[in-house]
Amino acid sequence: MTITENVPGPSTGPERPLATPASATSAAGTVPAQRRERRTAAGGRERLVVVGNGMAGMRAVEEILERGGADQFEVTVFGDEPYGNYNRILLSNLLAGAETEDEIFLNTPEWYADNDIRLRAGVRITGLDRYARVVTADDGTVTPYDKLIIATGSRSFIPPINGLIGADGELPGGVFAFRTIDDCRSMIGFAAERRTAAVIGGGLLGLEAARGLQTYGLAVHVIDAAPTLMNQQLCAEAGGILRRGVEALGITVHPGARTARILLADGAQAEAEAGGGGEVGPGRGDRGAGPTHGGGRAVGLEFADGTRLDVDMIVVAAGIRPNVDLGLRAGLTIERGIVTDDQLRSVDDSDIYVVGECAQHRGQVYGLVAPLWEQATVLAEHITGTNPDAAYHGSKIATKLKVAGMAVAAMGLKDAEHPDDEVVRFVEPRRGVYKSVIIRDGKLVGATLLGDTARSASHIEAFDRGLPLPEERLQLLFDIGLPAADVGAAEMADDAQVCNCNGVSKGKIVACVQGGVKSVPGVMNATRAGKGCGSCKALVKEIVEWAAGGEAEEDPSVSWYVPGVPLDKPALLAAVRERNLRSVSAVFAALAPGGREDAASKMALTSLLRIVWGGEFVDERDGRFINDRVHANIQKDGTFSVVPMIAGGVTSPDELRRIAEVAEKYDVPMVKITGGQRIDLLGIRKEDLPKVWADLAMPSGHAYGKSFRTVKTCVGKDFCRFGVGDSTALGVAIEQRYHGLESPGKLKLAVNGCPRNCAEGLIKDVGVVAIEGGRWEIYIGGAGGAHVRKGDLLATVDSPDEVMTLTGRFLQYYRENARWLERTYTFVPRVGIEKVRAVVVDDADGIASDLDARVQESIDAYVDPWLEREAPATPGQFRTALPLIPLPQVPVR
């Protein structure tokens, strides 16, 4: 035997050493001592040999190169297919004519050359000698390695059906596996002049093959030994709905049909039946390429019940089996795949890594692409030493795809397994919709969605990360209030309007992504999508991710509290407290990159510092939004709206008289009753604000800030014949205690005197409902605006005092923990009502008294801002910003 280094491909230089003479004369398996020593190739680099040029192997190589691996390793890649590297997932698109061969190739031969990788395409590794540290190829060459990566993937499983494998070990003519680009080419070439085809296998691959063959005008039968299509992912009921969808496309499904034998022409039957089932190995060339094949030519198949199906061609898509022969012969531990540790190394040999479909990690063999990516990353981090602690802990498998034109998402369990498993299921067969989730111990452990996968993103997230689930399980299946996409991004028309505030279409977002902006905040800034009321943000995110095709960039700034300071809220709060930062400019100087101030961050920082420091906050007026500088809400013409405080919506003739007089005196263009049970004077000139406030002689209603605004009430038990509690008095008391408190988002409250919800307490940030027996229910996280959501029940208490305490404690918890502009209807589901209840009601964290004390400090520091009418806080505080424009421009009603 001769030992050669790899010949083709770029050489790394003439000094590259050949194998030692000693090894050249040794037989495989006998190990000269010097062979075990670590030797390195040119430039002090180790020799890394990769067996397998598929998606897993090459992803691992790419990840290694990304971590500077080119300086550490001299890389050689063996692939038994004579090509560069292609995307195997897209073979079904190739078959269906949706993509060309060029489009599915990932790395060209030039790429290998450019990256100094020796590619030996079309060369199959047949032997591995772990002691000699060499691999031998079918062309007789022997290649030494220091580190080896086995990424041999899988091959088609050929079920034991008579006639499926001829005496020569090949598939008969007209029979095809569906695994490689050559398989695909052969099928396409053969299908052209045929009329009927059978696909053996009703899994994902089989259905894709069936759909692909239809494009050539063939009548296609799917022969499924299992009773249910996509048996691996779908329960019987979902499989039935999928079957109806598949049949509607003109594909004939034979469920539970066992194929007894393949019918062959040319009298080859007897000879062929000598062969049983088995596995077709890769690289055997032209199997099934034509009718003159040695194994005969298939003309149909016969089922176990004796019935026959005559077809012109047969595709076998009955599953895959890991290619483990190389490891087996080298004595590595094999179960279903080559068994690896958490670093993806063979448990028997720490110089041999195994990645992809041939690897078995913690009992799992993965056949989907996402886990391969995770494995490749861990492998690369470990082999390059960039993260010696890198460890793979297994992947949770979730699939979202289109099968024969139907959207399918599946993850985890397909059926309940334990008696205590909760199953929530919705089935609408007529529309082909099936949704089912399986919950165990409050965690999502399985979900199947068919026909309508709009909520699959949140399922995958909950499944992957074990997130808390909504108490009302229905929300898992339907969008009943939480922001979410109604239609999948892929299905939307290009001109469909996504952002209804700023008029941004899907097409505009996609164009932005294609223009190179691949992060969600980047696209939002560039297109203004999602920058209005924010209710479309989830859809914008989905479209960006879809348009970026898995290359969406995680923008680290999404976790920052403000865009100009790279810290999330807990870190920002800690820094502000530790470093005693009491003004917005001090925060920028200490914490912003380069000490740079950022206009878009100022309002949020002002709010946060007020929450932290209360009366000790150093107030820089430029840190405030205009509304908070002049304590009124700016209107479209630059005038302002004035809303005096009317606590609980209870006013008096005297107040109404003053309001009426002000409206006349200042020619107020519109007087409007608000939704918050107050009176709004709209179209007031900025310079008139101090005088208006003085004439009203009422405190500010804070209808302009991110702060506690109102408490709506009903008339309660003193007047209403249905009332069971004094909602009016309690609502007035809550508003008087907490009004004006600044918070990450605005706060709108209500108190109902009975469960009829006249004050709308069920859709408020905090809603209180009197119930019979002198008790009160407290709901939090409700919304009745751009999003509609019923609040979650926080607690049922016995007295108004307890309502007051829990309300304040929750408000403080929200103030300290919510993201900027995150309303309670997002905050509460994000944190989870159970967690909020544990902290606020049960004091599980032992912070209840601290929260109570801090909210009391804020209350004590409160000053009515309208008192600035006496002494303006800054020069020209109330000077017009548009001196040459006669205001108001808004219409006078």
Q: Report the interface residues with other proteins, using CB under 8 A.
A: 525-528, 531, 585, 596-600, 602-603, 620-626, 629, 634, 636-638, 874-877, 879-886
What one-character DSSP code corresponds to residue 741? Answer: -
- CA dihedral 469→475→481→484, nearest 10 degrees, is 80
- Specify whether the CB–CB gap between 200 and 305 falls below 8 A: no
Q: Which is nearer to other proteins, 357 or 628 (CB)?
A: 628
Residue 213, Cβ neighbours under 10 Å: how many?
25
In the complex, minimum distance from the CB of residue 635 to other proteins, in angstroms, rounded to a whole number? 9
Enclosing H/E stretch for 804: helix 800-817
Q: Which is nearer to other proteins, 185 or 691 (CB)?
A: 691
Widest Cα–Cα separation across the chain: 110
What one-character DSSP code corresponds to residue 344? Answer: S
In the complex, minimum distance from the CB of residue 157 to other proteins, in angstroms, rounded to a whole number? 55
Contacts of 591 by beta carbon, 8 Å cutoff, 6+ apart: 565, 567, 572, 575, 581
Contacts of 100 by beta carbon, 8 Å cutoff, 6+ apart: 94
Q: Which is nearer to other proteins, 255 or 638 (CB)?
A: 638
In the complex, minimum distance from the CB of residue 883 to other proteins, in angstroms, rounded to a whole number? 3
Residue 811's φ and ψ, nearest 5 degrees, are -60, -40
CA–CA dist 547, 789 (Å, integer): 30
Q: Identify residue 721 by its one-letter amino acid code.
A: R
Q: What are the Cα distances from residue 298, in Å, to 164, 255, 291?
A: 9, 22, 8
Q: Which is nearer to other proteins, 145 or 666 (CB)?
A: 666
Q: Which is nearer to other proteins, 384 or 606 (CB)?
A: 606
In the complex, minimum distance from the CB of residue 529 to other proteins, in angstroms, rounded to a whole number? 11
Distance of CA 85 to the CA centre of its chain: 27
- Specify whether the CB–CB gap between 412 and 429 falls below 8 A: no
- Specify whether the CB–CB gap between 264 and 271 falls below 8 A: no
In the complex, minimum distance from the CB of residue 487 to other proteins, in angstroms, rounded to a whole number? 26
- Specify whether the CB–CB gap between 510 and 540 falls below 8 A: no
Place of tokens 């892929």: 490
CA–CA dist 24, 17 (Å, integer): 13
In the complex, minimum distance from the CB of residue 626 to other proteins, in angstroms, rounded to a whole number? 4
Q: Which is nearer to other proteins, 84 or 744 (CB)?
A: 744
Contacts of 431 by beta carbon, 8 Å cutoff, 6+ apart: 451
Enclosing H/E stretch for 608: helix 599-613
Q: List beta partners, residue 640.
A: 634, 684
CA–CA dist 634, 616 (Å, integer): 28
In the complex, minimum distance from the CB of residue 703 to other proteins, in angstroms, rounded to a whole number? 16
Q: Which is nearer to other proteins, 563 or 614 (CB)?
A: 563
Enclosing H/E stretch for 55: helix 55-66
Q: Which is nearer to other proteins, 374 or 597 (CB)?
A: 597
In the complex, minimum distance from the CB of residue 890 to other proteins, in angstroms, rounded to a whole number? 12
- Specify whether the CB–CB gap between 177 and 280 falls below 8 A: yes
State whether residue 1 is helix, strand or coil. Answer: coil
- Specify whether the CB–CB gap between 892 and 667 falls below 8 A: yes
Q: Cis before residue 883, ω within 30 degrees of 0?
A: no
Q: Which is nearer to other proteins, 146 or 555 (CB)?
A: 555
Q: Which is nearer to other proteins, 99 or 637 (CB)?
A: 637
CA–CA dist 377, 390 (Å, integer): 9
In the complex, minimum distance from the CB of residue 634 to other proteins, in angstroms, rounded to a whole number? 6
CA–CA dist 354, 334 (Å, integer): 12
CA–CA dist 242, 406 (Å, integer): 8
- Specify whether the CB–CB gap between 157 and 273 falls below 8 A: no
In the complex, minimum distance from the CB of residue 675 to other proteins, in angstroms, rounded to a whole number? 22
Contacts of 618 by beta carbon, 8 Å cutoff, 6+ apart: 582, 583, 586, 609
- Specify whether the CB–CB gap between 121 and 82 falls below 8 A: yes
In the complex, minimum distance from the CB of residue 623 to other proteins, in angstroms, rounded to a whole number? 7
In the complex, minimum distance from the CB of residue 618 to other proteins, in angstroms, rounded to a whole number? 12
User: 856: number of CA atoms within 13 Å, CB side?
Assistant: 9
Contacts of 121 by beta carbon, 8 Å cutoff, 6+ apart: 53, 79, 81, 82, 83, 84, 109
Q: Which is nearer to other proteins, 302 or 620 (CB)?
A: 620
The structure tokens listed for 489 are: 């991004």
Q: Which is nearer to other proteins, 162 or 601 (CB)?
A: 601
Distance of CA 464 to the CA centre of its chain: 9
Q: Which is nearer to other proteins, 40 or 889 (CB)?
A: 889
Q: Which is nearer to other proteins, 577 or 621 (CB)?
A: 621
Q: Which is nearer to other proteins, 303 or 625 (CB)?
A: 625
In the complex, minimum distance from the CB of residue 515 to other proteins, in angstroms, rounded to a whole number? 13
In the complex, minimum distance from the CB of residue 765 to other proteins, in angstroms, rounded to a whole number? 24
Q: Which is nearer to other proteins, 27 or 884 (CB)?
A: 884
In the complex, minimum distance from the CB of residue 594 to other proteins, in angstroms, rounded to a whole number? 10
CA–CA dist 607, 858 (Å, integer): 12
Q: Which is nearer to other proteins, 390 or 504 (CB)?
A: 504
Q: Which is nearer to other proteins, 267 or 875 (CB)?
A: 875
Burial 497-524 (b: 16+ CB within 10 A, else e): ebbeebebbbebbbebbeeebbbbbbbb
Q: List beta partners, residue 777.
A: 769, 796
In the complex, minimum distance from the CB of residue 514 to other proteins, in angstroms, rounded to a whole number? 17
In the complex, minimum distance from the CB of residue 585 to other proteins, in angstroms, rounded to a whole number? 7
In the complex, minimum distance from the CB of residue 608 to other proteins, in angstroms, rounded to a whole number? 15
